[in-house]
Amino acid sequence: MEQYDVLVVGSGGAGQRAALEAARRDGLRVALITKIFPTRSATAMAQGGVNAALNNVAKEDSTEVHTFDTVKGSDYLGDQDAIEFFCQRCPEGVLEMDFMGTPFSRTDEGKIAQRNFGGQSYPRTCYSADKTGHVILHTTYEQCLKEGVHFLQEWYLLDIVVKDGKAGGAIIWNMKKGKVEIIKAKSIVLSTGGAGRVFWTRTTNPFLSTGDGMAVAFRAGVGLKDMEMIQFHPTGLGKTGILMSEAVRGEGGYLLNVEGERFMKKYAPNKMELASRDVVAKAIEDEIAAGRGFNGTGLDAYVVADLRHLGPEVIIEKLHGIRDLALCFEHCDPLTDPVPIRPTCHYIMGGIDVVDYKTCATEIPGIFASGEASCISIHGANRLGGNSLADGVVFGK
């Protein structure tokens, strides 16, 4: 029977960051179990960026403004103390990733580049073209290997063993061998991601996002919180629901209805396309319901994202991955054609109830949670784009 001091479940950004930090502590034996190869986790699909008030583009920005934007973006339902704690630590978290080798895009001065994102007062979203989650995941994976984290691939968490009121280990299905095994562990970190696949037909989430960790925690006696708070991203590709990153709007893309109108002027005249996700998603559905979408008002209806005015330089340099997705799944080229889009299930703000946001501890000693699997209540009823990767960077640590 394997025995570890720390067992991390989930190989996304939050899970790998937790494993890395634990492995850096002298004398701790750390393992990470994952259903798939670590760099294929859902974090790799996060395209747009990670928020931090670095002031590289907007000198007026600050952690206080980031805090206000996050509180407002949460529809004032987030834990404001936790949000303040989070926003104050985002700059340190992003700079740590930079020092570890994350290849962020750069300004002309060589600083980390930052772009506009919905619901934010200033450009504070640090990015690596449109593959930010991918490069963060590869960076943490390299560092975990360097620090000696034991990766147990194709292992599936079935249940947590709770003994004498605290974590004692985990029951695992070893998919390679086709048998159930037990791992002893003094501490278990659940970073298993979201459950977007419950919205089978339209979600940005991969097939592995099935809420495993939330279910396991609930069976072990840990509460779940805010599970009704589900975010629909405004720009999923029309046919599939695959994510078309918020970077599309951050770089200046337009949303148009069938009449060629930039309809966001009716719903958010100041922010326009850069309003928060819930506002933009509702506006799109309102336009479709009113008959101003393409292809009727049914499940196949859509509006379009128009990037043509951005020009080849911006699209090819900063949005090349998004262009590839549009070409593959919508058979249109953003250089010459508007791209069909419609809201799609993206993120669950709720999750495993974390009772101490500074340690990510749950109500059962020895069980911790971070990332989308957790509910630290920093997102409230609506998450700001760029705060998810930041969540993993800060609370994973």
Q: What amino acid positions are annotated as catalytic residues?
A: 277
CA–CA dist 51, 72 (Å, integer):
15
SS3 content of the chain, % helix, strand, coil (to 5): 35, 25, 40
Burial degree of 228 (CB within 10 A; 0-12, 13-18, 19+): exposed
Q: HSE of 348 in the Cβ direction (CA atoms, 13 Å)?
A: 29
CA–CA dist 227, 40 (Å, integer):
25
| Beta pairing partners, 305 | 255, 339
Residue type, 382: N
CA–CA dist 332, 196 (Å, integer):
26
DSSP letters of 252-271?
T-EEE-TTS--THHHH-TTT
Residue 179's φ and ψ, nearest 5 degrees, are -145, 160
Q: How far is CA 119 from CA 82, 122, 276, in A?
A: 19, 9, 4
Nearest to 363 by CA among 233, 217, 252: 217
| Residue 226 CB coordination number (10 Å) | 18
Helix residue ranges, H only, 162-290: 212-220, 247-250, 264-267, 277-289
CA–CA dist 1, 298 (Å, integer):
54
Q: Which residues contact 369 (CB under 8 A, 6 or more apart)?
A: 189, 190, 191, 213, 217, 222, 351, 352, 354, 360, 362
Give the angle subtended at the CA of 302 by the CAs of 299 and 307, to the nearest 5°: 155
